[in-house]
Amino acid sequence: MSVTVSREGSVAFVTVNNPPVNAIGRAVRAGLMDALDAVENAVGLSLVVLSGAGRCFAAGADAKEFDAPLQGPHLPDIIARIETCDVPWVAAVTGAALGGGCELALGCRYRIASPSAQIGLPEVTLGVIPGAGGTQRLPRLVGIKTALELIATGKAVSAGRAEEIGLIDSVADDPVEGASRLDIEMVERGRSIASLPQPAANAKAVEAARALIRKKMPHQIAPERAIDLIEKSAHVSLSEGLAAERAAFLELREASQSSALRHVFFSERAARMPEPLRGQDAALEVITVAGGGTMGAGIAYALLNKGSEVTLLEADMDGVEKANANVEKIIAASVKRGLIDEGAAEACCQRLMVTTDYSAASQSTLAIEAAFESLAVKQSIFADLEMHLPKSAVLATNTSYLDVDALAAGVSDPSRVIGLHFFAPAHIMKLLEIVRGENTSDAALATGFALAKRLGKIPVVSGVCDGFIGNRILARYREAADTLLMEGATPWEIDAAMTGFGYVMGPYEAQDLSGLDIAHANRRRQDAERDPERRYISIADRMVALGRLGRKTGVGWYRYPDSGGKVEDPIVAELAVEAARLAKVERKEYPADEIRERLLMAMINEAADILGEGIARQASDIDLVTIHGYGFPRWRGGLLHYADRIGVDSVLNSLMRFETEDRVAWRPGQVIVDCIGRGIALSEWRAAPFLK
Ligand code: COA
Tens digit of pLDDT for each residue in 570-628? Answer: 889 899 999 999 989 999 999 999 999 999 999 999 999 999 999 999 999 999 999 99
Question: For residue 253, is pLDDT > 90?
Answer: yes
Nearest ligand 1 atom, CA 56: 34
Q: Please tell me the distance from the alpha carbon of residue 641 to that of residue 502, in angstroms, as a whole number.
A: 15
Q: Please tell me the distance from the alpha carbon of residue 692 to that of residue 686, in angstroms, as a whole number.
A: 16
pLDDT reported for residue 184: 84
- How many angstroms is it from 17 CA to the middle of ligand 1? 15
CB 263 within 8 A of CB 620: yes
Q: Whose CA is nearest to atom 40 of ligand 1?
A: 59
Q: Please tell me the distance from the alpha carbon of residue 648 to that of residue 672, in angstroms, as a whole number.
A: 7
Question: For residue 388, is pLDDT > 90?
Answer: yes
Give the mean pLDDT of the chain: 95
Closest CA to 365 of 459, 443, 271: 443
Burial, 646: exposed, middle or buried (Cβ in 10 Å; 0-12, 13-18, 19+)?
Answer: middle
- 8 CA to centre of own chain: 45
Tens digit of pLDDT for each residue in 128-139? Answer: 999 999 999 999
Calculate mean pLDDT across residues 404-412. 95
DSSP string computed for 493-554: HHHHHHHHHT-SS-HHHHHHHH-HHHHHHHHHHHGGGS-TTS----HHHHHHHTT--BGGGT
Which range has the worst mean pLDDT, 276-280, 562-566, 650-654? Answer: 276-280
Q: Whose CA is nearest to atom 34 of ligand 1?
A: 59
- How many angstroms is it from 59 CA to the middle of ligand 1? 6
- How many angstroms is it from 62 CA to the middle of ligand 1? 9
Closest CA to 214 of 257, 276, 152, 264: 152
Question: For residue 692, is pLDDT > 50?
Answer: no
State which H helix or E strand residue 346 sits in. helix 342-351
CA dist list (Å): 279 to 275, 443, 446: 9, 10, 9
Nearest ligand 1 atom, CA 63: 1
SS3 302: helix
Phi, psi of 57 (to 5 degrees): -75, -60
CATH number for 3-254: choose from 3.90.226.10, 3.30.70.1560, 3.10.520.10, 2.60.40.10. 3.90.226.10
3-state DSSP percent of the chain in helix, strand and coil, to 5: 55, 15, 35
CA dist list (Å): 584 to 101, 398, 571, 577: 64, 41, 20, 10
Terminal-residue alpha carbon distance, the chain: 40
CB 227 within 8 A of CB 206: yes
What percentage of the chain carries pLDDT values higher than 90? 91
- How many angstroms is it from 101 CA to the middle of ligand 1? 12
CB 426 within 8 A of CB 289: no
State which H helix or E strand residue 226 sits in. helix 221-232
Phi, psi of 7 (to 5 degrees): -140, 140
Q: Please tell me the distance from the alpha carbon of residue 586 to that of residue 594, in angstroms, as a whole number.
A: 17
Q: Whose CA is nearest to atom 30 of ligand 1?
A: 269
pLDDT reported for residue 588: 93
Calculate mean pLDDT across residues 550-557. 94
Nearest ligand 1 atom, CA 131: 48
Mutate to test the pocket of ligand 1, among 2, 21, 104 (most ligand atoms within 8 A of CB): 21
CB 93 within 8 A of CB 53: no
Most confidently modeled of 270-279, 525-534, 672-681? Answer: 672-681
- How many angstroms is it from 54 CA to the middle of ligand 1? 13
Nearest ligand 1 atom, CA 118: 35
Q: Helices 592-612 and 468-487 meet at what angle, rounded to 10?
A: 150
Q: Helices 648-659 and 670-678 meet at what angle, rounded to 10?
A: 140
Nearest ligand 1 atom, CA 96: 34
The b/e string for 350-382 (b: 16+ C-beta within 10 A; e otherwise) is ebbebeeebebbeebbbbbbbbebeeeebbebb
Calculate mean pLDDT across residues 180-199. 87
Looking at domain 275-462, its CATH class is: alpha beta
Neighbours of 608 (CB within 10 A): 28
Calculate mean pLDDT across residues 180-192. 84
Total count of residues recorded for the chain? 692
Q: Whose CA is nearest to atom 38 of ligand 1?
A: 59
pLDDT reported for residue 561: 93
Q: Whose CA is nearest to atom 25 of ligand 1?
A: 269
Domain with CATH 1.10.1040.50 in the chain: 470-684
Calculate mean pLDDT across residues 15-26. 97
160-166 contacts at long range (C-beta below 8 A, 24 or more positions apart): 160/115, 162/111, 162/113, 162/117, 162/119, 163/113, 166/141, 166/142
Closest CA to 140 of 236, 244, 246: 236
Question: For residue 279, is pLDDT > 70?
Answer: yes
Q: Which residues are catalytic?
A: 103, 123
Taking CB atoms and a 6 Å cutoff, what residues make up the pocket around ligand 1? 20-21, 23, 56, 59-64, 96, 98-99, 122-123, 125-126, 128, 266, 269
Query: CA-CA-CA-CA torsion for 29, 33, 35, 37, nearest 10 degrees?
Result: 180
- How many angstroms is it from 266 CA to the middle of ligand 1? 8
Q: What are 12's strand-pairing partners?
A: 7, 48
Query: CA-CA-CA-CA torsion for 297, 298, 301, 307, nearest 10 degrees?
Result: -120
pLDDT reported for residue 687: 65
- How many angstroms is it from 477 CA to the middle of ligand 1? 34
Query: CA-CA-CA-CA torsion for 541, 544, 545, 546, nearest 10 degrees?
Result: 130
- 112 CA to centre of own chain: 32
Which range has the worst mean pLDDT, 275-279, 409-413, 666-670? Answer: 275-279
The CATH number that domain 470-684 falls under is: 1.10.1040.50
Domain with CATH 3.40.50.720 in the chain: 275-462
Tens digit of pLDDT for each residue in 461-476? Answer: 999 999 999 999 999 9
Q: Please tell me the distance from the alpha carbon of residue 449 to that of residue 348, in angstroms, as a whole number.
A: 23
Which range has the worst mean pLDDT, 26-30, 126-130, 171-175, 683-687? Answer: 683-687
Question: Which has more pLDDT, 525 or 289?
Answer: 289
Tens digit of pLDDT for each residue in 325-379? Answer: 999 999 999 999 999 999 999 999 999 999 999 999 999 999 999 998 889 999 9
Domain with CATH 3.90.226.10 in the chain: 3-254
